[in-house]
Amino acid sequence: MRDHSQLIGRVVHEADDEITIKDTILYALALGLGADPVDQRQLQYVYEDHLKSLPGMAMIVAYPGFWMRDPEYGFTWQKVLHAEESIEIHQPLPVAGRIHGSTVIEDVVDRGADKGCFVYLRKELHAADGTHLATVLSNTLARGDGGFGGGGKPRAALAAPPDRAADATCDLPTLPQAALLYRLCGDMNPLHADPQVARGAGFERPILHGRCTLSMAMRALIETCCEHDADRLRGVQVRFSAPVLPGETLRTEMWRDGAAVQFRTTVVERDVVVLNHGHARIAD
């Protein structure tokens, strides 16, 4: 059995990522933006004339890829699931240009032999001139790799949504081919494309990337709480609670308290919560 706590502090990826206008547009198209060809509020994210970047791009820029599949890390890659994600936007990302990203294993937490381990990553993004653009924290559950007895302690749990009716609700359909589009943004895990791999992991068919599901919820926040201005969404934290099948409809419920918004996302067709304990920060 490998002691995965020995990986703490390991830099798994560091590179200058040259993003293009096409990268920025592809990401937005994977989220279904541009479905209405005359809606200027959508076109600003999918058309190069006055193009704007979405904050979720921070998750895919300088993405380390499916690094857990590399044998040198010793993970049972077929059994890893995205557990939590946190994004802090310090400055809006450019729609094109060179961005430096560095991703480090910040912590590993053993949950027991039959429960796997949490693997916490921190990615920092900087522009070519040194401007700090974003910080992305990711927590992955390696279901088949617990019991080594080392590492740190789990992070504090995010607060649950209020026990009252939501202040706003936004329903957004996912594209049937959303996972195939989104994987071109950097996450080529075959779980999202290969039916055989998906069945081997216990799913009926390929599932949507957790980050794509979160990106859809961020789109709902932008459209509902930010008047379609993506630059106003400055921070997001969320827990992934269930997978989404491409083509399903996502309903995001929002509870707003000034600049702070709590949110939860469910699959309408199955009435299953897929994102929970969500928190967002909105700028004026």
Domains of the chain with CATH codes: 4-151+158-282 (3.10.129.10)
Please give the radius of gyration of the chain, using alpha carbons only, rounded to the nearest integer.
Answer: 18
pLDDT mean over 205-224: 97
* Tokens, residue 165: 């009716």
Percent of the chain, pLDDT > 70? 100
d(C-alpha 198, C-alpha 141), whole Å: 17
Contacts of 68 (CB under 8 A, 6+ apart): 75, 77, 80, 119, 140, 142
Residue 192 falls in the annotated catalytic set: yes
* Residues counted in the chain: 284
Out of 82, 126, 192, 209, pick the active-site residue: 192
d(C-alpha 258, C-alpha 8), whole Å: 37
pLDDT score at 151: 87
Out of 107, 145, 187, 209, pick the active-site residue: 187
Do 28 and 174 contact (CB within 8 A), yes or no?
no
pLDDT score at 188: 87
Q: What angle do CA 188, 207, 63 make, to 5 degrees?
A: 30
* Tokens, residue 153: 């302690």
- Decide which of 252 and 187 is more confident: 252
pLDDT score at 66: 84
The DSSP element (H or E) to which 225 belongs, if any, is helix 210-225
pLDDT in tens, 110-155: 999 999 999 999 999 999 999 999 999 999 999 999 999 888 888 8
Instruction: Check whether 1 has a pLDDT greater than 80.
Output: no
Closest of 182, 224, 175 to residue 41, by C-alpha: 224
For the ranges 56-60, 200-204, 244-248, the lowest mean pLDDT is seen at 200-204
* Tokens, residue 49: 């004339």
pLDDT mean over 248-264: 97
